[in-house]
Structure formats: C-alpha cells, structure tokens
Structure 1
C-alpha cells in the first residue's frame, strides 16, 4: 500500500516534472544528452552487467576502486549510472579506456522506467552507493529477483530523522534490499532502527579510505601556480567563495602565494569569476592559461603579484591541485550542505581545513580531527585559522603526516565489500 501511494504521487507529478525537465534542458545544453535514459532507455553495451549507481562525483570517486575490482577480480562487466552531469563526465574520465565499463543516467524513480531499464540491460545485480535508496527501483529489482545491495552505506542523523518521518514507506523498502553494507556501527544501528533486519546489515568500513592516488604525471599546476604558498579550496559552494576571498585578502603581508578556487559545480564558474574580479586582486581562469591570445601584461601581473587567485574552471583537476597545495579547504562545510570528502587531501599528506557543517562525513571528519589531521573552522575564525596554517610550516607538516597515516591505517573496506558482493551473487545463483 505504501509503495502504491508513493507511485501514484510520482505519476501525478510526472507531467509537471516533464515540463520542468524540458525547460531545464532548454536552458542548460549540457543536460540534453541522455534525455531518454532518464525514462529507462539505457544503452545495451554490456551483457548482463553489474549496475552500479553513484549519484555524483563524490560517490563515484569513492566507488571507482570497487568498480575496477569487480571488473578485474570478479570478471564482470559494469554499467555505471549517475544522476548529475558532472558525475557522468567524471565517469568518462575514469573509465574511458576500459571497454568493460559503460555509463548512463539513472532513470527517474517510476515503475515503468525501472522496468524498461531492467528489461533492456538485464543486470546480474544492482549496487546502490551510500544513500541512493529509490523505492520503485528497489521494488522492481525485488520483483525480478535482481540482488540489490547498498554499498558503502552511510546515514547521517539528519537523514535518519527525515527517513523516520516516512517509516511507512522506508521500512518496507529496506526489507526488499538483499544486503546493506555500511561504513560504521552508528549507521548500522540507524538502518536497524528504521526497520531493517540486523542480519542483513554488515559493517565493512568506508571505501573512501581505499582511494587510489594517481601517479604524478605532468605537473599541470606549474605554470599557473607560481612559487609561494598555495591554498587550495576544493568543491566550494554558494557563499563560501566570498568568505574565502575575504580571508585571502586580509592575510598578513608576509603570506605570499596563490589562492586556488575549485567550485563544485561548473554552472557556477562565471558567478565565481565575478567574485574574483570584485576582489581587486590579479586572477586567472585556468581555461585561459593556455590561450594564445592571453595578454602578456595580465600574465606578468598575475605571476609577480604577492597575492593572486586562480579559478579552476575545468573538471577533473582537483587532485592535481591538492597535490600542489600547502593547505586544503574542503568546501560544502562553511555552507550548510554537509561538506565533501576530505580524505583525498589527507591521503596526499595535506593539512585539511573545513567548516562546521560536515554531517555528510561525520565519522571521517571526527577521525581526522581526533588525530589532528583536520581543523574545523567557522566564518568568524577562518582568517585566524588559515593565517596560522600558512605561517606555521611545522604545524602543516604535523597535520599532513597525521592525516596520511590515518588513511593508510583505515584501508581494507574494498576487499571486504568485494567478498560480500561475490558471496551475495553466488547465493543468488544458487537459489
């Protein structure tokens, strides 16, 4: 009954949703690709793949090693679905050379869309990453006896509270999942309190600790980040750049170097460019640094100014700039959006600074803060904290070493996830 009510509401909202979808893609050309995929017409490039759904860039980066392991160790093809365009672009960057991995957009959560998707691709299993719980998708998989596993599961206190308000829908949905593989014991308890059977929930650790740091290739940062200190602010969100630019402009005179801003969403590049222009400091767009018509006067002013700004308006370069950084600020944490993954910077041995809103990565941030690899700041304390980090090399080294050691110590969730998935698939074949 609960699923029926949910499905009816989805179909009632469908005409309005389609209108908004058409208006959206009319205004944003990058969303026009994959239009029919959003309604179930996914490409049939692999034979009975494992379908892995990672909503956006953060989830995809975390799950990428597991996808590669499924292909290499289990010898199975994989279809990766995302929700966001940035996630799709990141997927293409990671797996462009792997013909055993294909990608598409996940359909909207309608019974007919999910039925069409499953009928076309006939997946061996469906893996949902972190909190990607869709009632109709899970129900359709259950009816067609497709094993459905939540991997690298996490559930913040805020999300658990929201789910509890809809227990009439959430509890039956959870019971249709084959297994739930979660990051920590607190998350496991939250799923059980929402109605899941304790026997189906396994605590395997976070896949984010098993991230693979790419080998150092050509240093793309060398020409755009001159000598001096480098403060990289990654995955920044609305309102954060204002505070970061203000702090950069108010630092003591002895601090000389480059502020690197990497907005989370490409549609905000122009907005952040306006903020850089208003700062009064010399700045560049990364995309313009290789332009032949770049005025040399601007380039010289930028390179020789003691305090400069670089706006990275290209996707997939964050790790390159993290590697160059002296200090990393991880965005989404001054803005109340839950924060983004600090482990990429920590794994590179960088001291990490975040705002107080880290509820998407509570356990990770708590662990990093406990070993003093991360410092939590606020808008009021940002200037003081970044001043101390940029002027104290010993502190930066201590924090970076502690964070890297924690990441190395916590690895192992990848092997545990792979074994659990393999066992689930074997049990499904035996039934």
Structure 2
C-alpha cells in the first residue's frame, strides 16, 4: 500500500476514533479524576500563555520523564533563550513534569493523533525541533512536523522483539514515518538493527546508549530520602516492591507471610504504579492480615507496622534508598517489567520476575555482571519470591555483592545524555 493512501486512511480512522478515545478517558476518570481534566489539550487546544518557536520533548509517562530529566536540564542551561515544552500523555507523567521542573518548562498533554488536533498543537507551539522518546511513533503528527520542516529526533530508541512483531504488520505506514526523522538515537545495537529492519536509513541512526543509566543522587532526592527515613522509628529489614500492577501485590503479600516467619520485624513497602490503585492496594494488604500505614497519613512507621503503602508520587527512588531488598513490579505478568536501574543506583540487591521484556538489554548486562536475581516459572512464584527475599535479608555478603555489581553496571553505561544533547545541537545548527 502506498504511504500517502495509508496515511489518509490512518487519519480518517483516528478522526473517527477520537470520540471513542475521549469517552475512554472519561471512563478512566471515574477512578482517577485527572483524566477528565484538561481535555482541551487532548484535542490540541493549548493554553494561550504557551510560547512558540522552541523545543518540544515528549515523554509518555513517569518513567520517561524521569529518564529525560538530565537531558532537559542541559537544554534549559544551553538554550535558555528558547521555550522548552515537555509533553506527556498520562496524568502521572504530567504530575512528574510539574514536580521536577515547576515553571522552568512549559507543559501540556500531547494531543490525540488526528489531523485537526495535531494541526492546532503545532500551530500554537511552532517548534524548531520535536523530540520523541523510545517507541513513540505518531504517524500523523510526525508527517505534519516534516511538512512544516520541524527537526525530528527519536531518542533512546527502543524496539523490542514484541513491538517488532506488531510493527511489521504496519510497515507501509510506519516505515515512511520512521524515515521522516532527521536523527534516530538508539539504546543498543539490537534496537538499531530493528529500526533498520523497519526501514530506517543507516545515515539516520546513531548508537547513543540508554538515557535511563544517567541517573544520579541530587539534593532533592537526598532530602526526600531523609524525609522518609525520619518516619522509620526502628532499624529493621525492609523489602520494597516497586511499581506494582494488579496481581503483583497478591504475590508479594503471600510471599511476605513466609518472610515474616523468618523475621517478625520485617517491613514490606509497596509502591503502586498507578495512583488510582492506592486505596485498593492498602485494602488488599489489610485484608491479608497485616497492619498497614499509608504514606499519605504521614505517620511514623513503628515496629507494629507490617506493610507501608507509598501512596504518593515521586518518592519511589527515595524509598529504594531505604530498602534492603527491592523487587520490580510489572515483571510477573505481561507488562514487561520496570526500570531496575533505580534501585541499582543505591547498590540494592534486585529481584525481578520472569518477564522483563521492556528492559531486555539492561537485564542481560545485569545478568552478565551477576547483579540481579530473576525468578522463573519453574516453581510457584510466591514461594520462589519468599526464598529469594529471605536469602538476601539473611546473607549480607550475597546481597552486598549483587548491589555493588548492579551499581557498577549503572556507572559503566552512563553518557547517553551528553551524546543525545550533542546530536540535537548539530541538528539545530
């Protein structure tokens, strides 16, 4: 199928789909009110105070925004005469932008990818450059940027085997979309090869490494760590399960019953991925027979507390710093896992489930460095999880070795932020 026809059909389809997507956002807002707010931005109707002729960076949600932080800070320092606009697609991503940058950047949602909404978006912002991250491919918006001679970059490019299987069914639409980018910076050679397979030109592609390695402990993070630590009255073993999804908590709570038999003072810290589940997770932990405190209650965590639910935004990294063992949620189902580099920054031993497909290259490096414990489906997960946690809480040498090895992997792979920034500078010359 010719690309022009494919794009026309895509535009018609997405225009017809827009009311359904808006309805989906409204239904989602039943449990999370933020989804019904700022609906105009979803249609490309942006606040009038947003300045034009700058740089727009899109990070879909929380993880991408956090990974973009060092890069955005470089932009703010070097391009201090240009408006920097950071877009997201989720309310949690939006909250993270405001938390990290306040009024240092402009912020709005990226609109739905229909012809009118993206036209209004570009008409308001008129960017010099539009930067997308990882697998964010918006055929209509990218085509309009290209037509208006907006510089296009895809950074931290990632195409997993799972994504490839889906994308290859749409090559007639996605291959020309990929070819419209001026630069494609990829996390690894495997990812770059996948982009080339989908139609990218070798001259477009550069191997930059992964922005998610470029994390560091700053003053704000250290202060947040101290704030959380002040709520812990007694020294005790802390097991944290991070970025949990439905099903993760039930597994962890079942495993925790075995952990408590070995260590009656152990504390389980649960950090749900999505705010709309905070109440549900706290209730689940309580119904499992635990004494539960929620972070929002701002109460001291005494020895009587068995489960601490972090029902707040932007405190995961600080919570990792306090843990003895960290398990990454989203790795026990088909979610594909979450970033294990965050606990690695604090030299914490890390446990993950069978599915870490979203972080396959990072996982390979951690495995090679003997820096992670990955469970398999060879035995029931709750039992395997309990065994792994108990071992790490009781074997200090093993836990310390895992944590130090993970930290070395982080340190050895830093530098993608500077390479990405240099590529943008060259593009804007």
Query: Is 2:215 the partner of 1:211?
Result: yes
Distance 1:23 1:242, change over 3 A: closer
Partner of residue 239, structure 2: 231
Query: Is 2:390 the partner of 1:384?
Result: no
Match of 2:359 among 354, 358, 361: 361
Q: Deviations over 1:140-177 (max 9, x none)?
A: 10010101100111111100111001111111111111
Q: Is the 8 A contact 2:331 2:356 kept in 1?
A: yes
Q: Is the 8 A contact 2:18 2:114 kept in 1?
A: no
Match of 1:90 among 76, 90, 96: 96
Judge which range, 307-316 or 62-71, deviates more: 307-316
Q: Deviations over 1:187-237 (max 9, x none)?
A: 000000011111101111011111132232233233246321011111011
Partner of residue 191, structure 2: 187
Distance 1:343 1:225 in 2: 28
Distance 2:159 2:340 in 1: 18
After TM superposition, give the deviation of residue 27 of structure 1 in Å: 5.8
Match of 1:396 among 395, 399, 403: 399
Partner of residue 296, structure 1: none
The TM-score with structure 2 as length reference comes to 0.93
Partner of residue 258, structure 1: 267
Q: Deviations over 1:87-140 (max 9, x none)?
A: 0001111001x53x1111000001111111111011110000111111001001
Partner of residue 201, structure 1: 205
Q: Is the 8 A contact 2:175 2:199 kept in 1?
A: yes
Distance 1:80 1:330 in 2: 27
Q: Is the 8 A contact 1:227 1:257 kept in 2?
A: no
The TM-score with structure 1 as length reference comes to 0.92
Alpha-carbon RMSD: 1.6
Q: Deviations over 1:33-81 (max 9, x none)?
A: 2210101112343342210000000111111110111111243431000
Query: Is 2:229 the partner of 1:221?
Result: yes
Match of 1:422 among 406, 421, 425: 425
Q: Is the 8 A contact 1:350 1:396 kept in 2?
A: yes
Distance 1:225 1:55, change over 3 A: farther
Q: Deviations over 1:262-300 (max 9, x none)?
A: 00001011111121111212111111134xxxxxxxx7x
Q: Is the 8 A contact 1:238 1:335 kept in 2?
A: no
Distance 2:229 2:296 in 1: 12
Distance 2:233 2:246 in 1: 24
Match of 1:410 among 403, 406, 413: 413
Query: Is 2:286 the partner of 1:281?
Result: no
Q: Is the 8 A contact 1:65 1:212 kept in 2?
A: no
Partner of residue 148, structure 2: 144
After TM superposition, give the deviation of residue 14 of structure 1 in Å: 2.6
The unaligned stretches of length 5 or more in structure 2 are none
Distance 1:304 1:252 in 2: 13
Partner of residue 293, structure 1: none
The unaligned stretches of length 5 or more in structure 1 are 291-298, 427-431
After TM superposition, give the deviation of residue 252 of structure 1 in Å: 5.9
Partner of residue 295, structure 1: none
Query: Is 2:120 the partner of 1:116?
Result: yes
SS in 2 for 1:219: helix
Q: Is the 8 A contact 2:259 2:266 kept in 1?
A: no
SS in 2 for 1:158: helix
Distance 1:409 1:420 in 2: 21
Query: Is 2:35 the partner of 1:19?
Result: no
Moved over 4 A (4+): none
SS in 2 for 1:280: coil
Aligned residues: 413
Q: Deviations over 1:318-350 (max 9, x none)?
A: 111111011111111012201111111101111
SS in 2 for 1:304: coil
After TM superposition, give the deviation of residue 26 of structure 1 in Å: 5.8
Partner of residue 311, structure 1: 309
Distance 1:191 1:287, change over 3 A: same
Q: Is the 8 A contact 2:25 2:36 kept in 1?
A: no
Distance 1:308 1:47 in 2: 51
Match of 2:72 among 64, 67, 74: 67
Q: Is the 8 A contact 2:186 2:210 kept in 1?
A: yes
Query: Is 2:159 the partner of 1:163?
Result: no
SS in 2 for 1:253: helix
Q: Is the 8 A contact 1:266 1:314 kept in 2?
A: yes
Query: Is 2:122 the partner of 1:106?
Result: no
